[in-house]
Amino acid sequence: MRLTVILLLLAQVLQAQHAISGTVKDKKGETVPFANVYLKEVFDGNSTDENGIFTFNTTSEGTMILAVSCLGYANYEQVVEINGPLQLEIVLEKGSNQLAEVVISAGAFEASDEKKITMLKPLDIVTNAGASGDVYGALQTLPGVSQVNDETGIFVRGGEAYETQTIIDGALVAKPFFGDTPDIPSRGRFNPFLFKGTLFSTGGYSAEYGRALSSVLLLNTYDIPKDSEYSLSLNAAGIGASRVKVWNDRTAFLFSGSYTNLQPLFSLIPQNRDWLKAPTGAGTAMGFRHRYENGAMLKSYFQYQHGSIGVAFPNANTPETNSAFRGDNDNVFWNTAYKGFLGQNWSLKAVIGLNYDDDGNTLDESAFGSEEWAIQSRFTLSREWGAVLWKTGAEWVESKGDYYFNELGSKLSDTYTAVFSELDWKIQSKLAARIGVRGEHSQLLEAGNLAPRLSLAYKTGPKSQVSFAYGQFFQQPEPMFLWERDPLNFEQAAHYIFNYQWITDDQTFRIELYQKDYDQLVRRQGLEYNNSGFGHAKGIDFFWRDKALLPGLDYWLSYSFLDAERLYRDFPIAATPTFTTKHTLNVVVNYRTNVRTRLGLSYTFASGRPYYNPNNPEFLSDRTKPYHNLNLNASYLTSISGNFTVLYISFRNPFQFEQVFGYTYSDDGEHRVARLPASDWSIFAGVSISFEDR
> Where are the extended beta strands (E) located within 386-506?
388-405, 408-428, 431-442, 447-461, 464-475, 491-503
**Residue 640 to residue 234: CA distance in whole angstroms:** 14
**Residue 459 to residue 481: CA distance in whole angstroms:** 46
Ranges 30-39, 78-87, 536-545, 645-654, most confident? 536-545
Determine which helix (DSSP H) or strand (DSSP E) holds 264, and give its type and residue range.
helix 263-268
Q: Mean pLDDT over residues 625-645, rounded?
A: 90
Q: Which residues face 83 on adjacent strands?
A: none
Asked if domains 2-92 and 108-692 share a fold, the reply is no
What pLDDT score was predicted for residue 360? 95
What's 108-692's CATH class?
mainly beta
Report helix, strand or coil for 257.
strand
**Residue 242 to residue 255: CA distance in whole angstroms:** 5
**Residue 134 to residue 100: CA distance in whole angstroms:** 32
| Percent of the chain predicted with pLDDT > 70 | 92
**Residue 565 to residue 572: CA distance in whole angstroms:** 13
What single-letter amino acid sits at 329?
Answer: N
- Give me the phi and psi of 621, to 5 degrees please: -100, -10
Tell how strand 164-168 and strand 215-221 pair up.
parallel
Contacts of 120 (CB under 8 A, 6+ apart): 109, 110, 111, 198
Q: Where are the domains of the chain?
A: 2-92, 108-692
**Residue 51 to residue 33: CA distance in whole angstroms:** 6
Instruction: Write out pLDDT tens, residues 638-670.
Output: 888 888 888 889 999 999 999 999 999 998 889
User: Is the predicted pLDDT of residue 301 greater than 90, yes or no?
Assistant: yes
Distance of CA 222 to the CA centre of its chain: 14
Contacts of 490 (CB under 8 A, 6+ apart): 440, 442, 445, 447, 449, 474, 475, 476, 520
What pLDDT score was predicted for residue 4? 40
3-state DSSP percent of the chain in helix, strand and coil, to 5: 5, 60, 35
Q: Mean pLDDT over residues 432-449, rounded?
A: 95
What pLDDT score was predicted for residue 222? 85
What single-letter amino acid sits at 152?
Answer: T
Instruction: Write out pLDDT tens, residues 510-531.
Output: 999 999 999 999 999 988 899 9
- Give me the phi and psi of 670, to 5 degrees please: -80, -30
CB 174 within 8 A of CB 357: yes
| Order of strands, sheet of 36-39, starting from the edge strand that comes earlier in the sequence | 45-47, 36-39, 62-69, 76-82
**Residue 38 half-sphere exposure toward CB, CA atoms < 13 A:** 19
CB 579 within 8 A of CB 155: yes
Q: Which residues face 195 on adjacent strands?
A: 221
What pLDDT score was predicted for residue 71? 62
What pLDDT score was predicted for residue 13? 37
Length of the chain (residues): 694
Neighbours of 366 (CB within 10 A): 9
CB 581 within 8 A of CB 567: no
Q: Which residue has the higher pLDDT, 326 or 485?
A: 326
Neighbours of 313 (CB within 10 A): 20
Judged by average pLDDT, the poorest of 13-17, 190-194, 302-306, 503-507 is 13-17
What pLDDT score was predicted for residue 181? 87
**Residue 34 to residue 351: CA distance in whole angstroms:** 22
Banded pLDDT at 694 (limits 50, 70, 90): low
**Residue 671 to residue 665: CA distance in whole angstroms:** 6
Mean residue pLDDT across the chain? 88
What single-letter amino acid sits at 610?
Answer: P
CA distances (Å), 22 to each of 33, 68, 239, 296, in order?
Answer: 12, 12, 39, 19
3 state SS for 474-499: EECCCHHHCCCCCCCCCEEEEEEEEE
CB 500 within 8 A of CB 464: yes
User: Is the predicted pLDDT of residue 507 greater than 70, yes or no?
Assistant: yes
Judged by average pLDDT, the poorest of 46-60, 286-300, 316-330 is 46-60
Q: Which residue has the higher pLDDT, 79 or 359?
A: 359
What does the DSSP 8-state code read for residue 120?
Answer: B
CB 437 within 8 A of CB 420: yes
Banded pLDDT at 98 (limits 50, 70, 90): very low
Distance of CA 489 to the CA centre of its chain: 28
User: Is the predicted pLDDT of residue 455 greater than 80, yes or no?
Assistant: yes
Neighbours of 62 (CB within 10 A): 8
What pLDDT score was predicted for residue 551? 85
What pLDDT score was predicted for residue 15? 44
CA distances (Å), 78 to each of 40, 91, 113, in order?
Answer: 10, 11, 26
Banded pLDDT at 122 (limits 50, 70, 90): low
Q: Which of 619, 614, 627, 606 is nearest to 663 (CA)?
A: 614
Q: Which CATH superfamily, name and number, covers 2-92?
A: Immunoglobulins (2.60.40.10)
What single-letter amino acid sits at 416?
Answer: Y
Q: Mean pLDDT over residues 100-125, rounded?
A: 59
Contacts of 177 (CB under 8 A, 6+ apart): 136, 152, 153, 186, 187, 188, 189
What pLDDT score was predicted for residue 111? 53
Q: Which of 402, 400, 399 is nearest to 410 (CA)?
A: 402
DSSP line for 613-657: -TT-SSTT-EEPPPEEEEEEEEEEEEEETTEEEEEEEEEESTT--
Banded pLDDT at 192 (limits 50, 70, 90): confident
**Residue 591 to residue 106: CA distance in whole angstroms:** 30
Instruction: Write out pLDDT tens, residues 151-188.
Output: 989 999 999 999 999 999 999 999 999 888 888 888 88
What pLDDT score was predicted for residue 120? 61
